[in-house]
């Protein structure tokens, strides 16, 4: 078997076999397939795409290149949730204790933020004392005892994907559905849960900008999960504006805590209920509709907040943050107002630019080695379709002495378009599609 023949076959529009795909991935990891041949194969895939079977084979070859996380020692049903990344997406923090309140186990590996998207681990580490680096025994013990555990990703999950992504990033082959879906699912299937709910973002703050592209990606990932005999549901959700009202770390944790108490913003609350109900649905614990009724009761009774306190304490965090978040979270008191320059409706938001505006304040990373400032971020007052008058506050900018707040304000000015007309309601529809 030669890389040349495998590349030529894909270049000419034919399907690669399971053995050919495994040969390319294993060879690239072991450096017997050089960068230039892998890059040529990736470009052939970019132009000719892959069949559902090829996508699955690519996913499994990358998955098998590293460790798998066996969750069988965790009692009960384990359902994972994955978001393709967005701005203001703090759903895991409020969602985890919600589904745990109904008997599901949430044992999740999450990532850090890079670029315009935030990371769940960075947000959780804004809670004083919270530890995301856990041993395997700690991870399993916390899940069994407290029903929720969220840890940082291990270095050796799907190392082939990490090596290939670095090459894709430098050869303009990132944005291809087969490669994206295999990249995501190789990491998700390495964590051996009983099912997965996928939150595929679409819009100006998402990786996939159009609904049709996002639906295609969602279907590709669902196909891969099904071939792996995994229960799966994918939702295509809106990222044409930040989710909720905050973008940052401490301020997003504050909003997540408010949401798990029934006091959060409408869109974040609705999405958390939708994702939670879908997780419960595929677990078989209860129906989609009935689970929403029970979740509402568990929030009102304080059961969800109590689970959150025990989970946070189990991972070394300060549990009192749930009762009195503003006393324990580091939130800047140095606040600027971003105001409307004219009368009109918020017609369009470049959500990616809002994410970058938060990043340059210090809430995110331009490079992996950058240090996060948990105190800074952006609180959004006006969203799509809202009417504003000149001088009205659109957003509050929480800054520190080290923040590049001038650049942040410029980015916000470019991000918000005010018009005489309201945007089409599809622009701020929360859920576009559900793929079961």
Give CATH superfamily name and number for 3-48: Transferase, Pyrimidine Nucleoside Phosphorylase; Chain C (1.20.970.10)
Task: Please give the backbone phi and psi of residue 92, each rounded to the nearest 5 degrees, phi first.
Answer: -55, -40
pLDDT at 50: 97
Beta-carbon contacts of residue 378 (< 8 Å; ≥ 6 apart): 246, 247, 248, 354, 357, 358, 361, 363, 395, 396, 397, 398, 408, 412
Strand order in the sheet with 377-380: 246-248, 377-380, 393-398, 335-339
- Would you name the residues annotated as active-site residues? 82, 161, 168, 183, 187
**Domain boundaries along the sequence of the chain:** 3-48, 69-325, 330-425
Beta-carbon contacts of residue 288 (< 8 Å; ≥ 6 apart): 277, 278, 280, 281
pLDDT at 155: 67
Write down the pTM of the prediction.
0.93
Task: Please give the backbone phi and psi of residue 138, each rounded to the nearest 5 degrees, phi first.
Answer: -60, -45
| The CATH classification of domain 69-325, taken from the options 3.40.1030.10, 1.10.150.120, 1.10.1370.40, 2.40.110.10 | 3.40.1030.10
pLDDT at 174: 87
Torsion of the alpha carbons at 379, 380, 381 and 385, rounded to the nearest 10: -170
**pLDDT digit string (tens) for 22-68?**
999 999 999 999 999 999 999 999 999 999 999 999 999 999 999 99
Q: Which residues in the chain land under pLDDT 70?
A: 114-115, 155
CA angle 276-280-284, nearest 5°? 170
pLDDT at 200: 97
pLDDT at 415: 97
**CB neighbourhood size of 49 (10 A):** 16
Residues in the chain: 436
User: How far are the Cα atoms of 43, 174, 212, 228 from residue 177, in angstroms, in the given order?
Assistant: 13, 9, 12, 18
pLDDT at 428: 87
Q: Which CATH architecture is the domain 330-425 placed in?
A: Alpha-Beta Complex (3.90)
Please state, in angstroms and rounded to a whole number, the distance separating the CA atoms of residues 313 and 257. Answer: 15
Beta bridge partners of 379: 246, 396
Beta bridge partners of 202: 238
Beta-carbon contacts of residue 299 (< 8 Å; ≥ 6 apart): 98, 260, 261, 262, 305
Please state, in angstroms and rounded to a whole number, the distance separating the CA atoms of residues 222 and 197. Answer: 9
């Amino acid at each position: 078997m030669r890389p040349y023949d495998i590349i030529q076959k894909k270049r000419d529009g034919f399907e690669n076999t399971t053995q050919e795909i495994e040969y390319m991935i294993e060879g690239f990891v072991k450096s017997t397939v050089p960068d230039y041949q892998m890059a040529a194969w990736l470009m052939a895939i970019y132009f000719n795409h892959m069949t559902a079977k090829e996508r699955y084979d690519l996913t499994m070859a990358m998955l098998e290149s590293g460790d798998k996380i066996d969750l069988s020692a965790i009692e009960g049903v384990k359902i994972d949730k994955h978001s393709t990344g967005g701005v203001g997406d703090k759903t895991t923090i409020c969602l985890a204790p919600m589904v745990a309140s109904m008997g599901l186990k949430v044992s999740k590996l999450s990532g850090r933020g890079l670029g315009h998207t935030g990371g769940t681990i960075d947000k959780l580490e804004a809670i004083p004392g919270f530890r995301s680096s856990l041993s395997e025994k700690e991870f399993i013990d916390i899940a069994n005892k407290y029903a929720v555990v969220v840890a940082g990703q291990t270095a050796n999950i799907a190392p082939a994907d990490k090596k290939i992504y670095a090459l894709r990033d430098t050869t303009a082959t990132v944005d291809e559905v087969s490669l994206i879906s295999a990249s995501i699912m190789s990491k998700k299937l390495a964590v051996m849960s009983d099912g997965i709910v996928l939150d595929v973002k679409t819009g100006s703050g998402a990786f996939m900008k159009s609904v049709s592209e996002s639906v295609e990606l969602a279907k590709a990932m669902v196909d891969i999960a099904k071939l792996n005999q995994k229960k799966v549901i994918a939702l295509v959700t809106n990222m044409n504006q930040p989710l909720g009202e905050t973008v940052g770390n401490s301020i997003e944790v504050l909003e997540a805590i408010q949401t798990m108490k029934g006091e959060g913003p409408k869109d974040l609350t609705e999405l958390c209920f939708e994702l939670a109900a879908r997780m419960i649905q595929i677990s078989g614990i209860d129906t989609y509709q009935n689970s929403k009724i029970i979740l509402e009761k568990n929030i009102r009774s304080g059961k969800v907040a109590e689970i959150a306190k025990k989970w946070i304490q189990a991972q070394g965090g300060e549990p009192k943050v749930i009762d009195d978040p503003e006393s324990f979270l580091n939130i800047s008191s140095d606040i600027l107002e971003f105001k409307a320059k004219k009368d009109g409706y918020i017609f369009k938001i470049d959500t990616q630019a809002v994410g970058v505006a938060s990043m340059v304040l210090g809430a995110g990373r331009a490079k992996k080695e950058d240090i996060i400032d948990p105190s800074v971020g952006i609180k959004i007052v006006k969203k799509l379709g809202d009417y504003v008058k000149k001088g009205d506050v659109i957003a509050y900018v929480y800054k520190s002495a080290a923040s590049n707040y001038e650049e942040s304000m410029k980015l916000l000015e470019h991000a918000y378009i005010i018009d005489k007309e309201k945007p089409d309601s599809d622009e701020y529809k929360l859920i576009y599609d559900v793929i079961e």
